[in-house]
Amino acid sequence: MSPLKITTDHTETGPVLHLAGELDYDHATALRDQTANLSLAPGQSLILDLSGVEFCDSSGIAALLGARQLAQSLGADIVLASVPPNTLRLLTLVGLDRVFTIRPQQAPPA
């Protein structure tokens, strides 16, 4: 079991959260807390770099949806970047690949 570690980069286009570890019931609260404290302006994009996510369950999916809802409420976009194959499969199975913008890798900082 790997605890979720989140590091943040701030770019001109918005914050980038790098997630590593397990995005599950025991750790999803960390993502909710981190996104609740973000400075995100209308027109910016919140990028969630999932390249280090080892496992994601329904609680993790709910936390991703919560981040999306927060971004939208602030007039911002959200992008999932570098989504591991197992997590992408889960997102696809539940139809969230049509809800989130998914990039194969994180865009370079602007």
CATH number, domain at 26? 3.30.750.24
Question: Is there a domain that residue 33 lies in?
Answer: yes
Question: Is there a domain that residue 108 lies in?
Answer: no
Q: How far apart are CA 110 and CA 108, in angstroms?
A: 6
Question: Is there a domain that residue 109 lies in?
Answer: no
Q: Convert the pLDDT of each residue in 11-65 to its tens digit.
A: 999 999 999 999 999 999 999 999 999 989 999 999 999 999 999 999 999 999 9
Closest CA to 46 of 4, 18, 87: 18
Question: Is there a domain that residue 110 lies in?
Answer: no
| Contacts for 57 with CB less than 8 Å, ≥ 6 apart | 23, 24, 25
Question: Is there a domain that residue 21 lies in?
Answer: yes
Q: What local confidence, expressed as pLDDT, does residue 15 receive? A: 96
Question: Is there a domain that residue 10 lies in?
Answer: yes
pTM for the model stands at 0.92
Question: Is there a domain that residue 31 lies in?
Answer: yes
Question: Is there a domain that residue 45 lies in?
Answer: yes
Provide the domain count of the chain: 1
Q: Convert the pLDDT of each residue in 68-100 to its tens digit.
A: 999 999 999 999 999 999 999 999 999 999 999
Task: For residue 82, give its domain range.
Answer: 5-103
Q: What local confidence, expressed as pLDDT, does residue 22 receive? A: 97
Q: What local confidence, expressed as pLDDT, does residue 91 receive? A: 96
